[in-house]
């Protein structure tokens, strides 16, 4: 028994050693600003994307722990997977979030519906670290509701072992040389977005004709497409199962790390540029503490740690300057300005456009689908035959039993 | 001889079908790389990082806490309900049993949304309380359904005999009925625990910023990429459950043997 206890104690000691915070505590931040809420037992609820903050793994900074230590404010951190999930949670009224990090089009929708509180920039001095161009955006025209956290572009990730030519246009995703080697987005907004861009339209087009043309284009692409996927792109591209796929620049870096044959290109027709930005929703109880958290996230070291963890691009100038030379000059994360000329942000689309897009998307996915058209009648016939056989068998058995009597 | 070879193959195939996904998951939890498809080398990296990842650990402890509390409460409630339902008249009993089935056949998403609306209407803030109440609502029927057959199997006369032999009703209840239906109560408890542990849909609607459970955390990783730390965690959970099952089975087998020996010595 004693030996078992000793073993347990040793194990616990090992784990507590493992759990020790790995990063330095002193970041040289303004103590008088951050200590305003010390010993007041305040907590804030942060709602962020999954895997979207530096969490102390691999000797990185544990951002939330650092903030708690510095300010004495408790951070309740939870995560979501889609903008729509976040929207529903806020709309249902049961949520009590103080800080949320939605994407551009969702921010513009929330501003329109009065779901965000204007920020008091007096309390967020570190906002001066942000590149001025990222504070002047379409989704938040007044620049009053959000502070950008990350940005990125959509481009083409391809396997150089399978693609010889220069990749610089969306057109290559329609090239029948790569039949069964092309992956495509499985969400309509992104799929239509790149098709509209390829055709030279705006990716926020609300014109029915343009959308129908894009739908025809997507139908033409369908025989070439191996699969419509999102997350699986990682495994398929890393494993060399497909040659080309559209995806987000930051994730492309992760894939290239795992498989050096992969490369990334930003198409010349222009593409989608997306932002995720920190906002304070109307459910906020601790606005000043929430603004302190946003300020902390804008501090150079913190923003740099987050960006290194996430792999997306940073809108934070001070953090950008702390990054490795190799990352700063990487055209995947920070493409040349000329490539960004044609990029567009998503804006919230009107309801009828969303409906049209959804119905066109369903149409695309179900066109000449051999599988579904023959399967239904076959199953029906099989079901009928099975039930007839069963009835006949039962009748026969009953007749035999009667005869036995 | 040939038949046993064939049947062994078939069992092997079924086992492979059932356990291949778990095997892949465990193997890739030792992968050095973040990928789920490319093997680059053996390492314990993800296990180490798992113990650093406060978000995962916090949601794991939330999940366990809620599973333990709600399954215990549901077992208490369900056992009491089963005993009550059992002593009802025939018509009332079948009526109540049908109502009991309702939370089971009702689609989870309907239960989730309606619970969320109910809590919002009553002004209860979402959190541990709402999660525990929600989990109790779908766990209690399983307990009732597990305890009912045991009550039906039980010999009614043993209870009367206990009363005749001088037990008070309470004593008779705790010394005769409870031990008789114990296996049902335990399997009800186990079932509620597992259902509570892996519930996603209902928890999704009634959880809040401070009470996120593990399934929701894993789901929220799907925008980026599900972290291999989850593989490591699943592997640990799988091994723990396996060990517990082995211990329970070995213990059960040993007890049975002892009982047989005792019987033999009586004879």
Quote the ipTM score: 0.73
Tens-level pLDDT at each residue, chain A (405 residues): 555 555 555 555 545 544 444 444 457 788 889 988 988 889 999 999 988 999 877 778 889 999 999 999 999 998 888 888 888 888 877 678 999 999 998 999 899 889 999 999 999 999 999 999 899 888 899 999 999 999 999 999 999 999 999 999 999 999 999 999 999 998 888 999 999 999 999 989 999 999 999 999 999 999 999 999 887 888 888 888 899 999 999 889 888 988 899 999 999 899 999 999 999 999 899 999 999 999 999 999 999 999 998 889 999 999 999 999 988 998 889 988 888 888 888 888 888 998 999 899 988 988 765 555 677 788 889 999 999 999 999 999 888 888 887
Residue B55 in contact with partner chain A when CB distance is under 8 A: yes
Q: Which chain A residue has its CA at the smallest distance from B230's CA?
A: A51
- The verdict on B260 touching A (C-beta cutoff 8 Å) is no
Two tokens at A325?
């030379």
- The answer on A130 and A183 residing in a single domain is no
Q: Are residues A320 and A356 in the same domain?
A: no
A109 and A37 both lie in a single domain? yes
Other beta carbons less than 10 A from residue A28's beta carbon: 8
Decide if A168 touches B, using CB distance below 8 A. no
Å between A211 CA and nearest CA of chain B: 26
Partner residue facing A79 (CB), from B51, B55, B225:
B55
For chain B positions 120-149, those within 8 Å of chain A (CB to CB) are 120, 125-126
Q: Do B225 and A234 count as a contact with CB atoms less than 8 A apart? A: yes
CA distance A165 to A134: 34
Helix, strand, coil in percent for chain B, rounding step 5? 80, 0, 20
**Statement to judge: residues A229 and A362 lie in one domain:** yes
Residue A226 lies in a domain: yes
- In a 13 Å sphere around the CA of B256, the CA atoms on its Cβ side amount to 6
Task: Return the sign of the alpha-carbon dihedral for residues A345, A348, A352, A355.
Answer: positive
Measured at the alpha carbon of residue A143, what is the angle toward residues A141 and A145, in degrees to the nearest 5?
Answer: 110
Chain A closest-CA separation from residue B31 CA (Å): 12
A103 beta partners: A276
> Looking at the structure, do residues A234 and A359 belong to the same domain, yes or no?
yes
A209 min Cα distance to partner chain B (Å):
31
Could A50 and B220 be called an inter-chain contact, meaning their C-beta atoms sit closer than 8 Å?
yes
Are residues A215 and A319 both part of a single domain? no
Q: What is the pLDDT of residue B11?
A: 92
Q: Which of B52, B112, B218, B230 to mutate to test the interface with A (most CBs of A within 10 A)?
A: B52
Domain count, chain A: 3
pLDDT reported for residue B210 = 79
Are A96 and B209 an interchain contact pair (Cβ–Cβ within 8 Å)? yes
Pick from B38, B51, B53: which is nearest to A238 by CB? B38
Same domain as A358, residue A247: yes
B49 in A contact zone (CB under 8 Å): yes
Which SS3 state, helix, strand or coil, does residue B63 take? helix
Query: Length of chain A in residues, anyone?
Result: 405
Q: What is the pTM (predicted TM-score) of this model?
A: 0.79
How many residue pairs bridge chain A and chain B with CB atoms within 8 Å of each other? 117
Let me know: does B185 contact B81? Beta carbons within 8 Å.
no
Q: Are the beta carbons of B225 and A231 separated by less than 8 Å? A: yes
- CATH code of the domain covering residue A160: 3.40.190.10
**In-domain check, residue A403:** no
Domain holding A293, by residue range, is 2-145+280-335
Minimal C-alpha gap between B249 and chain A (Å): 23
If asked whether residues A131 and A168 sit together in one domain, one would say: no
- Considering only residues B83 and A31, tell me which one the structure prediction assigns the higher pLDDT: B83
Same domain, A284 and A139: yes
For residue B231, the model assigns a pLDDT of: 87
Give the C-alpha distances (Å, rounded to integers) separating A289 from A119, A123, A301: 12, 9, 20
- Whether residues A84 and A192 fall in one domain: no
According to the model, what pLDDT value does residue B76 have?
A: 96
Mapped onto helix, strand or coil, the DSSP state of residue B149 is helix
pLDDT of residue B1: 53
Compute the Cα dihedral for A286, B120, B69, B212 and give only its sign: negative
Backbone region of residue A305 per phi and psi (left: phi > 0; alpha: psi in -120 to 50; beta: other values) = alpha
Give chain B's length: 267
C-beta atoms of B34 and A19 within 8 A? no
Q: Which residue has the tokens 């680059």?
A: B40
Structure tokens at B125: 């803030």
Instruction: Give the gap in angstroms from C-alpha B15 to the nearest C-alpha of chain A.
Output: 26
Sorting pLDDT into bands at 50, 70 and 90, what band is B24?
confident
Residue B213 backbone zone (phi > 0: left; psi -120 to 50: alpha; other: beta): beta
**Token pair in block for residue B49:** 């990082």
Contact yes or no for B51 and A81 at CB 8 A: no
Q: What are the contacts of A34-40 at 24+ separation with CB within 8 A?
A: A34/A70, A34/A71, A34/A292, A34/A296, A35/A70, A35/A71, A35/A72, A36/A71, A36/A288, A36/A292, A37/A71, A37/A72, A37/A73, A37/A288, A37/A289, A37/A292, A38/A71, A38/A72, A39/A72, A40/A72
Q: Kindly state whether B61 is in contact with chain A, defined as any CB-CB distance less than 8 angstroms.
A: no
Taking the CA of residue B229 and the nearest CA in chain A, the distance in Å comes to 10
* pLDDT recorded at residue A369: 57
Closest CA to A138 of A341, A338, A348: A348
What string of H, E and C letters represents the secondary structure of A80-99? ECCHHHHHHHHHCCCCCCCE
A23 CB near a chain B CB, below 8 Å?
Answer: no
Looking at the complex, report in whole angstroms how far the Cα of residue B213 sits from the nearest Cα belonging to chain A.
9
Distance between CA atoms of residues B115 and B124, nearest Å: 11
Cβ–Cβ gap B54/A55 under 8 Å: yes
CA distances from A211 to A188, A279, A363 (A): 11, 32, 13
The verdict on residue A250 lying in a domain is yes
A258–B119 CB contact, under 8 Å: no
Give A276's contacts in chain B (Cβ within 8 Å): none
Window A:93-132, CB contacts with B under 8 Å: 93-97
Inside any domain, residue A16: yes
| Pairwise CB contact (< 8 Å): B52 & A22 | yes
CA dihedral B49, B55, B56, B61 (to 10 degrees): 130
Q: Taking CB atoms and an 8 Å cutoff, what residues of chain A touch B53?
A: 55-57
Q: Which residues of B touch A82 (CB under 8 A)?
A: 223
Record: contact B209-A239, CB cut-off 8 A: no
Which of A57, A230, A256 to mutate to test binding with chain B, by most B CBs within 10 Å of its CB? A57
Residues A184 and A294 in one domain: no
Whole-number Å distance between alpha carbons of A1 and A122: 61
Tell me if A116 is assigned to some domain. yes
Contact between B220 and A81 using a beta-carbon 8 Å cutoff = yes
User: For residue A7, is it within any domain?
Assistant: yes
**Can you give the pLDDT at residue A4?**
56
CB within 8 Å: A235 and B51: no
Pairwise CB contact (< 8 Å): A45 & B210: yes
A402 in a structural domain:
no
Contact between A234 and B49 using a beta-carbon 8 Å cutoff = no
Instruction: Band the pLDDT of B110: cuts 50, 70, 90.
Output: very high
Residues A294 and A206 in one domain: no
């Amino acid at each position: 028994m004693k030996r078992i206890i000793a073993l347990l104690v040793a194990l616990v000691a090992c784990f507590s050693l493992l759990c020790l915070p790995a990063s330095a505590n002193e970041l040289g931040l303004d103590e008088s600003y951050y200590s305003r809420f010390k010993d007041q037992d305040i907590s804030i609820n942060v709602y962020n994307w999954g895997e979207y903050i530096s969490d102390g793994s691999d000797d990185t900074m544990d951002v939330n722990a650092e903030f708690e230590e510095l300010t004495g404010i408790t951070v309740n951190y939870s995560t979501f997977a889609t903008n729509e999930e976040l929207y529903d949670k806020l709309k249902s009224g049961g949520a009590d979030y103080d800080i949320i990090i939605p994407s551009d089009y969702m921010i513009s929708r929330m501003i329109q519906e009065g779901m965000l509180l204007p920020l008091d920039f007096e309390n967020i001095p570190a906002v001066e670290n942000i590149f001025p161009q990222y504070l002047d955006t379409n989704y938040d025209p007044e620049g009053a509701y959000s502070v950008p956290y990350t940005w990125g572009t959509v481009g083409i990730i391809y396997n150089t072992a399978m693609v010889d030519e220069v990749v610089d246009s969306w057109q290559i995703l329609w090239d029948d040389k790569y039949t069964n080697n092309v992956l495509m987005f499985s969400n309509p907004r992104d799929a239509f977005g790149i098709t509209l861009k390829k055709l030279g339209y705006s990716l926020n087009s609300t014109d029915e004709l343009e959308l129908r043309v894009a739908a025809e284009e997507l139908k033409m692409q369908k025989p070439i497409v191996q699969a419509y996927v999102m997350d699986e792109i990682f495994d398929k591209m890393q494993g060399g199962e497909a040659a080309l796929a559209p995806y987000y620049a930051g994730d492309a870096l992760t894939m290239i790390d795992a498989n050096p044959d992969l490369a990334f290109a930003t198409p010349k027709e222009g593409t989608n540029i997306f932002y995720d930005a920190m906002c304070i929703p109307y459910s906020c109880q601790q606005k000043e503490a929430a603004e302190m958290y946003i300020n902390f996230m804008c501090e150079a070291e913190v923003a740099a740690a987050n960006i290194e963890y996430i792999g997306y691009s940073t809108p934070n100038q001070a953090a950008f300057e702390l990054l490795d030379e190799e990352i700063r000059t990487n055209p995947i994360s920070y493409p040349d300005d000329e490539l960004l000329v044609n990029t567009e942000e998503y804006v919230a689309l009107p309801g009828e456009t969303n409906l049209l897009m959804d119905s066109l998307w369903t149409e695309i996915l179900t066109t000449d689908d051999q599988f579904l058209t023959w399967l239904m009648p076959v199953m029906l016939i099989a079901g009928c035959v099975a039930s007839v056989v069963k009835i006949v068998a039962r009748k026969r058995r009953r007749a035999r039993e009667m005869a036995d009597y | 001889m040939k038949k046993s070879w064939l049947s062994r193959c078939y069992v092997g195939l079924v086992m492979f079908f059932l356990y291949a996904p778990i095997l892949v998951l465990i193997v890739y939890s030792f992968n050095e790389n973040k990928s789920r498809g490319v093997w680059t080398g053996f390492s314990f990296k993800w296990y180490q990082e798992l113990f650093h990842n406060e978000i995962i650990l916090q949601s794991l402890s939330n999940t366990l806490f809620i599973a333990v509390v709600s399954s215990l409460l549901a077992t208490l409630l369900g056992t009491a309900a089963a005993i009550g339902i059992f002593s009802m008249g025939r018509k009332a009993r079948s009526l109540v049993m049908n109502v009991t089935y309702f939370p089971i056949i009702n689609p989870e998403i309907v239960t989730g949304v309606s619970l969320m609306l109910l809590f919002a209407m009553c002004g209860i803030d979402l959190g541990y309380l709402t999660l525990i109440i929600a989990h109790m609502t779908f766990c209690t029927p399983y307990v009732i359904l597990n305890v009912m057959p045991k009550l039906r199997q039980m010999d009614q006369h043993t209870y009367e005999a206990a009363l005749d032999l001088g037990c008070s009703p309470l004593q008779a209840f705790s010394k005769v009925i409870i031990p008789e239906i114990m296996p049902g109560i335990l399997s009800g408890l186990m079932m509620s625990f597992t259902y509570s542990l892996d519930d996603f849909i209902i928890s999704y609607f009634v959880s809040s910023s401070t009470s996120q459970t593990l399934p929701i955390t894993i789901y929220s990783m799907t925008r980026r990429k599900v972290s291999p730390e989850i593989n490591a965690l699943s592997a640990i959970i799988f091994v723990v459950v396996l060990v517990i099952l082995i211990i329970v089975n070995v213990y059960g087998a040993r007890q049975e043997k002892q009982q047989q020996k005792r019987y033999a010595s009586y004879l």
